[in-house]
Structure 1
Amino acid sequence: MAAIGKIRSWGPTLVVVIGLALFAFIAEELFRSCQATSNEQRQQVGQVLGKKISVQEFQALVDEFQEVMKMTQGRDNLSEDEMNRLKDQVWNTFVQNTLIEDECEKLGLTVTTEEMQNILREGTNPMLMQTPFVNQQTGRFDVTQLTKFLADMKDPQVMQNTQVAEQYQSLYKYWQYIEKSLRQQTLAMKYQNLLVGCLLSNPVAAEASFKDQTTESSILLASLPYSGVNDNDVQVSDADLKAKYNEEKEMFKQSVETRDIKYVTYQVVASEADRKALMETMTEAQQKLQEGANVADVVRKAQSQVAYTGMAVTRAALPNDIASRIDSMSVGQTSAPFETRFDNTLNVVKLIAKTTMPDSIEYRAIQVGGATVEAARATADSIMQALKAGAVFDSLAVKYGQTGAKQWLTSAMYQNAPVLDVDTKNYLDALNSLGVNELKNLEFAQGNMILQVTARKAMVEKYDVAIVKHTIDFSKQTYSDAYNNFSQYVSENKTIEALEENAPKFGYNVQVRQDVANYEHNVAGIRSTRETMKWIFNAEDGEVSPLYECGNNDRLLVVALTKTHKAGYRDWESEKETLQQEVIRDKKFDVLAKKLENAKTIADAKNAGARVDTVPQITFSAPVFVQATGASEPALSGAVAATKQGEVSKKVVKGNGGAYMFQVLEQKQREGAQFDAKSQERMLKQQAMQAAGRFMNELYEQANVVDNRYLFF
């Protein structure tokens, strides 16, 4: 009993201990759950209507589109800017398709298999013309070619050839992309046509539209420009600004969050010492080229960006700055070092030879191999003897397992090669030097080749040029000095105020960039600033970033976040400058309108100080441009259209550039204009389609789009 009583005395303690243990267990599970959710969110590129797309999924779409570009454009590599545009297009396509698919699902709109088959049978969709399944005789998409290709894909005999299988798989992926895009395009057109069907035209609207376009008015216009009122004579209060903000609030709505920044950037450039050291290298190269030293060795030792191949090339293969001066040089001449600013280089050029050569050469060849190099040489000698004795080239080629077919070699196919090995150079030299029908037995390291030139055409000037081109780079010491100075500036100035106040002391300038959006690919036009972009959209107002090294490893950057503009309505203070101009214009109009309040005629307005001009050919459908104020005035066009001939405007018109009164002198139909109800209705229908085409903006506004691409791309 005593033991039971003792246990009972521990009851409250046991309850607390067990409760804490249970809480710890639940908290641990909750933490794991939150951590898993956080990790998932960190891998999301974005979402549309709750549909999430991960990094892996988005990259797969990018890779798919990149493969399509390779197929259609024959390009393997894209520049950084091109890749950014490609990723933007992939994202925009994902967003658009998600929005449309959601709307179509609600409406029950689909693209059936039968509809797709009809599109393929018709073969008129522009996408189909980008496929290899186009009949070369008719120039139209041929569905039978597609059908055969798809059948071959399932044929084991066709696919057992590894090379053919790879080509077919690549082409099949391309076709899958085209088919998917056709479905998406057709679904979007269905939805848009549904919207267009809600926007109707009729004969009454057509006639009214025709009159708006063709009824021309000539007026006597009295103008008082806003510039005639001094800004200092207009008082603007915060109450005025807030009132204007509330009046035009919808103008200040934004769909995405943006941020205002101030930043300081410094671009490291070569110092005088760096330039001097490079000039010494270039001068040494110039002297050696003049003395006749081995050209390839001189160019290589000077670390030229343009290697010397020993081949004569056309002007098109030369850098622009070299091509522009080569004609003024004589053969054997070496230039003094000169600077080219657009590519930031120092250059030395030697014109070794200038000759006239064919730009295109037709030739045929027989490649000769053997168990040993000696055996190949012997076989090649016997082929040459047979050809000289009158043997037919094609027949000999077939005997050695080749076709001997003629083919063309153009200068563009080889002259931009960065390097040429010995065998390739000998091969090209032979083709360029052989006359028509001449034969040559070329010896290579692993065998021989019998060459015969069959035609030469398009004789052009070619140049054998040695080019020493070197970027004017900064040295490690120069970069180190610049980095240390910038680092000191950043470390000593931790606030926005300090950055601005002390920038001139360090030789820097603080710049402003407003409304940075997270879909931008860089900060302030500087490359390799993704980490800076991440910082901007994770920082709090007033924070100063760490130092960033960016650009082409030649930029230093520090950023301060000055203001965050959340998605939705911007606050009136952030739009103060815009509102100020609007309110000033309103108040100036009030001043000018008061001058004209007692004017009943244009003569009265002129006596009140207005400038009077005759303005012809005003229509309702186009804003009139007023020379007196230098402004386009749609409000004036509307007021004129509502006033009868001979009448004076009933009130002063508020324009973009001034206050106006007018009298309509004449109203008439434009000469030669004839009303065609059907044509006018078609035009209104087209305008309705254009209006319906803007539905995507409305869908986007309601889709709660989250765009986190800046975190990954």
Structure 2
Amino acid sequence: MATLQNIRNRGGLLVAIIIGLALVAFILGDILNSGSSLLRPNQMKVAEIDGQSIQYPDFQRQVEEMAEIYKMNTGSTQLDESTWVQIREQAWQSLVREIVMSDIYEDLGLTVTSDELFDMVQGNNLHPIIQQLFRNPQTGQVDKSAVLQFLKSLELNATPQQKAYWLYIEQQIKEERIQTKYNNLVRQGLYTTTAEAQNSLEAKNQQMNIQYIRLPYISMPDSAVSVSESELKDYYNKHQDNYKQEESRTIEYVTFDVKATEADDAATLQWIEDVKDEFASISESEQYVNVNSDVPFEDVYQKKEALSDEIAEFAFNNEVGSVYGPFKEGNTYKLVKIDDMKDLPDSVQARHILINPDVVGGYEAALALADSLKGLIENGASFAALAEQYSEDTGSARQGGDLGWFGKNQMVKPFEDAAFNGQVNQLYTTTTQFGVHLIQPTRKGKEVKQVRLATLARNIEPSTQTYQNVYAQASRFVSENQDYKSFTEAIANEKLTKKMATVGENDRLVAGLEDSRPLIRAAYQGDVKEILHNSEGSAIFELGEQFVVAALTKATEEGIASFEEVKPRVELAVKKLNKGKALAQKMKEAATGTDLETIAESLDAEVNDANGLTFNSTSIPAVGMEPAVIGTLSTLSQDEVSSPIIGNNGVYLVKVVSVINGTDQDVQAEQNRLSQVLGSRAVYQAYEAQKDAVEIEDNRAKFY
């Protein structure tokens, strides 16, 4: 069904970002019928949300359904791991929202009726998704007849997969609609008063230019203040919210890196030397390179100036078939062969008409339309007029299809070939990823000699023997150091580099280690001060080009960190507090008048300026966040010097030099602005509050 393909291509992005369900079921296979104890509910529980247990097979089925939708939207057949991670997260967020909000919607009496859905899909109030899918690109209008025709064809000859895809779209429309109803209820419950708007205007209108003296905390050495144990504990008890911590694991590890050796380098050089004669004699250079080289053949002609001096000297002073090398470039040995030489223009001016197959019903229809337009032009019709009428490249269409002058490697390859190799004023049809093009070269630049090179490249990579040797080193290290004490001693004795990382249960990567999810899972399954093991029981983790041996050094649980754990942080905070008091006293004693220059001189400090500050400001330029200072400004009269202000980055004396009053008096506009901001924030916070009100046990890390 070409129309369904059009919908996927044109609506994929819009549909994909709305969370939902769809499509085919995922079957776990024989294990579901095996009666294995692994299938006991507690062992297969991937989550519990508001008392509702979510089993792994059910969640995985939703993940697979979303994956199928993603493949259909993008045309993909295989998904990489990062995409799977995103899809699993999307499925999780969708599941959480569904469970958290379903009872809320029911209690409020919020539903989406069949009549509403009909109206949004084919009635008078089409949903934005439907508008996106069925908008005529030529007119910009939604074609309702196309909607009806599509739905009719869906009933008569659609596959089960296509029908399921459409049900998915309808489900997204329903979910978006009921969320909108809830959000509107939240917004309607909020109101910004006239007084609030007036106060906001006054705060925005009054801009202050100030001078200030700052004594930074680092200006006083730590030794100048003392703290007692009782002060520390008292501060900790009063500020425990500052020491909340998430669950985490801390690991120490060493890596045994697999790198190419001198022997690997020599073997790579030997291989490329051995094939040089064969490469020189072969007639089909493109096929040979594509089969044997680590980089594909490039069907590109280049001017002398585009090449390195060394290669240019060879290429433009030898015959076709000549071979240069081997030579080493970075981590690669190369042979370069002169494959062809031509006199070609260095630039071309051309015009084109781009036809989008998705708009006209597929590539066959697009090619047929291009052929018809070609016939019209050859019989005297205006290329420019037809381009303006039919071309999907709206930018060039306004110029009669003219693309102006362009050089080599500026266009996609098929288009470039037609433009550079075609004759001036002749018409050529070619296909690219953008659609079908009817191309007419109109002018060509000066022809210059250009060369096409065939490059045979072989990367210097670790051999199997190198892998085995490095693995043997890691294996020896593990066998000799099977507990944490010997692990740390061996690292020091062998002068290895010990690295450390702190990870969360759902983290995917340890910085610097490829595909390190297995190591993170092991950290949550291991014991503190023990060597970690992978799912196969080995203490060696193969992560990319590294073998890793690790130990768990700390397990941090969610909650308030103990006093002993955070004592260094508490001590820093109390010292900063005491410094603030001491610096404030020092400032107070020096502030005997309103002349900041005199006060600054006595404090061995300097006077700084900050302009355009309002009550809505949050920071001082070049200093940082200082809400206490900003708040104090509104209480000062012009030329008044403040008392010492203990801030985030130091202690301040502030003086308002001048005040500029703005002229914005539109209270209604400000009231509307504040209501809009408040409504947007409340919609997000309302859902977060509902989510925080339920208990969510997330066990995904045990399965992924």
TM-score norm. by structure 2 comes to 0.72
Equivalent residue, structure 1, for 2:117: 116
Q: Which secondary structure does the structure 1 equivalent of 2:531 belong to?
A: coil
Q: How does 1:390-401 map to 2 (within 5 A)?
A: none
Alpha-carbon distance between aligned partners in 1 of 2:351 and 2:62, rounded to the nearest angstrom: 41
Equivalent residue, structure 2, for 1:4: none
2:511 to 517, 524, 536: 524
Equivalent residue, structure 2, for 1:501: 489
Equivalent residue, structure 2, for 1:540: 527
Structure 2 vs 1, CA of residues 633 and 147 (structure 1 numbering), >3 Å: closer, same or farther? same
Q: Which secondary structure does the structure 1 equivalent of 2:253 belong to?
A: strand
**1:670-701 CA-partner distances (Å, limit 9, x unpaired):** 3xx31211210121112212321233433333
Alpha-carbon distance between aligned partners in 2 of 1:632 and 1:62, rounded to the nearest angstrom: 43
1:172 to 156, 163, 169: 163
Residue 213 of structure 1 pairs with residue 168 of structure 2: no
Q: Which secondary structure does the structure 1 equivalent of 2:40 belong to?
A: helix
Structure 2 vs 1, CA of residues 528 and 647 (structure 1 numbering), >3 Å: closer, same or farther? closer
**1:592-637 CA-partner distances (Å, limit 9, x unpaired):** 012123334344743244432343322110124255xx33322211
Q: Which secondary structure does the structure 2 equivalent of 1:582 belong to?
A: helix
Q: Which secondary structure does the structure 1 equivalent of 2:325 belong to?
A: coil
* 1:296 Cα deviation from its structure 2 partner: 6.6
Structure 2 vs 1, CA of residues 435 and 550 (structure 1 numbering), >3 Å: closer, same or farther? farther
Q: How does 1:146-165 map to 2 (within 5 A)?
A: 146-155=147-156, 159=157, 165=158
Alpha-carbon distance between aligned partners in 2 of 1:323 and 1:135, rounded to the nearest angstrom: 50
Alpha-carbon distance between aligned partners in 1 of 2:312 and 2:638, rounded to the nearest angstrom: 70
Residue 612 of structure 1 pairs with residue 607 of structure 2: yes
**1:338-369 CA-partner distances (Å, limit 9, x unpaired):** 5555xx5433332311445999999xxxxxxx
Equivalent residue, structure 2, for 1:305: 294
2:641 to 634, 648, 651: 648
The alignment of Structure 1 onto Structure 2 pairs a total of residues equal to 579
Asked if the contact 1:313/1:462 (under 8 Å) is kept, the reply is no
Partner amino acid, structure 2, of 1:77: Q
Gaps in structure 2 of 5+ consecutive residues: 1-34, 354-409, 428-436, 534-538
**1:231-275 CA-partner distances (Å, limit 9, x unpaired):** 333344554444333333224335x53222222223211111111
Residue 684 of structure 1 pairs with residue 674 of structure 2: yes
Asked if the contact 1:312/1:463 (under 8 Å) is kept, the reply is no
**1:555-605 CA-partner distances (Å, limit 9, x unpaired):** 211222222222333334444454343333212212201212333434474
Alpha-carbon distance between aligned partners in 2 of 1:172 and 1:487, rounded to the nearest angstrom: 55
Residue 262 of structure 1 pairs with residue 264 of structure 2: no
Equivalent residue, structure 1, for 2:189: 198
Alpha-carbon distance between aligned partners in 2 of 1:322 and 1:41, rounded to the nearest angstrom: 65
Structure 2 vs 1, CA of residues 214 and 104 (structure 1 numbering), >3 Å: closer, same or farther? same
Alpha-carbon distance between aligned partners in 1 of 2:454 and 2:324, rounded to the nearest angstrom: 11
Alpha-carbon distance between aligned partners in 2 of 1:297 and 1:645, rounded to the nearest angstrom: 81
Asked if the contact 1:286/1:335 (under 8 Å) is kept, the reply is no
Alpha-carbon distance between aligned partners in 2 of 1:534 and 1:697, rounded to the nearest angstrom: 28
For the pair shown, the structure with the greater C-alpha radius of gyration is 1
Residue 669 of structure 1 pairs with residue 671 of structure 2: no
Asked if the contact 1:485/1:506 (under 8 Å) is kept, the reply is no
Equivalent residue, structure 1, for 2:335: 348
* 1:638 Cα deviation from its structure 2 partner: 0.8
Alpha-carbon distance between aligned partners in 2 of 1:83 and 1:354, rounded to the nearest angstrom: 47
**1:183-242 CA-partner distances (Å, limit 9, x unpaired):** 222222322332333332011000111111221123332221112111333344554444
Equivalent residue, structure 1, for 2:463: 475
Q: How does 1:690-709 map to 2 (within 5 A)?
A: 690-692=680-682, 693-709=684-700
Partner amino acid, structure 2, of 1:638: G
Structure 2 vs 1, CA of residues 292 and 225 (structure 1 numbering), >3 Å: closer, same or farther? same
Alpha-carbon distance between aligned partners in 2 of 1:314 and 1:238, rounded to the nearest angstrom: 77
Equivalent residue, structure 1, for 2:364: none
Alpha-carbon distance between aligned partners in 1 of 2:241 and 2:631, rounded to the nearest angstrom: 23
Partner amino acid, structure 2, of 1:92: Q
Equivalent residue, structure 1, for 2:82: 81
Alpha-carbon distance between aligned partners in 2 of 1:565 and 1:305, rounded to the nearest angstrom: 46
Partner amino acid, structure 2, of 1:615: A
**1:643-686 CA-partner distances (Å, limit 9, x unpaired):** 2334332x32111211012232333313xx31211210121112
Q: Which secondary structure does the structure 2 equivalent of 1:644 belong to?
A: coil
**1:313-351 CA-partner distances (Å, limit 9, x unpaired):** 578xxxxx999998774364534345555xx54333323
Alpha-carbon distance between aligned partners in 2 of 1:42 and 1:111, rounded to the nearest angstrom: 37
Q: Which secondary structure does the structure 2 equivalent of 1:282 belong to?
A: helix
Equivalent residue, structure 2, for 1:401: none
Equivalent residue, structure 2, for 1:127: 129
Q: Which secondary structure does the structure 2 equivalent of 1:154 belong to?
A: helix
Structure 2 vs 1, CA of residues 605 and 469 (structure 1 numbering), >3 Å: closer, same or farther? same
Partner amino acid, structure 2, of 1:549: F
Equivalent residue, structure 2, for 1:579: 570
Equivalent residue, structure 2, for 1:139: 140
Alpha-carbon distance between aligned partners in 2 of 1:324 and 1:571, rounded to the nearest angstrom: 66
Equivalent residue, structure 1, for 2:632: 639
Q: Which secondary structure does the structure 1 equivalent of 2:91 belong to?
A: helix
Q: How does 1:180-579 map to 2 (within 5 A)?
A: 180-254=171-245, 257-286=247-276, 288-290=278-280, 295=285, 299=289, 303-306=292-295, 312-313=299-300, 329-330=315-316, 332=320, 334-339=323-328, 341=330, 344-355=331-342, 356=344, 457=441, 464-514=452-502, 516-524=503-511, 526-546=513-533, 547-552=539-544, 554-579=545-570
Q: Which secondary structure does the structure 1 equivalent of 2:525 belong to?
A: coil
* Residues 221-230 or 142-151, more deviating: 142-151
Equivalent residue, structure 2, for 1:441: none
How large is the Cα RMSD of the aligned pairs? 4.1
Asked if the contact 2:217/2:579 (under 8 Å) is kept, the reply is yes
Structure 2 vs 1, CA of residues 295 and 505 (structure 1 numbering), >3 Å: closer, same or farther? farther
Alpha-carbon distance between aligned partners in 2 of 1:138 and 1:296, rounded to the nearest angstrom: 46
Alpha-carbon distance between aligned partners in 1 of 2:220 and 2:84, rounded to the nearest angstrom: 52
Alpha-carbon distance between aligned partners in 1 of 2:441 and 2:310, rounded to the nearest angstrom: 27
**1:267-326 CA-partner distances (Å, limit 9, x unpaired):** 21111111111111123334544566874786478x423456xx94578xxxxx999998
Alpha-carbon distance between aligned partners in 2 of 1:662 and 1:455, rounded to the nearest angstrom: 69
Indicate the percent of aligned positions where both proteins have the same amino acid.
25
Q: Which secondary structure does the structure 2 equivalent of 1:666 belong to?
A: strand
Asked if the contact 2:38/2:44 (under 8 Å) is kept, the reply is no
Asked if the contact 2:594/2:640 (under 8 Å) is kept, the reply is no
Structure 2 vs 1, CA of residues 646 and 313 (structure 1 numbering), >3 Å: closer, same or farther? closer
Alpha-carbon distance between aligned partners in 1 of 2:654 and 2:296, rounded to the nearest angstrom: 73
Equivalent residue, structure 1, for 2:701: 710
Alpha-carbon distance between aligned partners in 2 of 1:314 and 1:41, rounded to the nearest angstrom: 64
Asked if the contact 2:426/2:440 (under 8 Å) is kept, the reply is no
Partner amino acid, structure 2, of 1:631: G
Asked if the contact 1:602/1:662 (under 8 Å) is kept, the reply is no
TM-score norm. by structure 1 comes to 0.71
Asked if the contact 2:295/2:456 (under 8 Å) is kept, the reply is yes
Alpha-carbon distance between aligned partners in 2 of 1:454 and 1:663, rounded to the nearest angstrom: 71
Equivalent residue, structure 1, for 2:51: 50
Structure 2 vs 1, CA of residues 681 and 434 (structure 1 numbering), >3 Å: closer, same or farther? closer
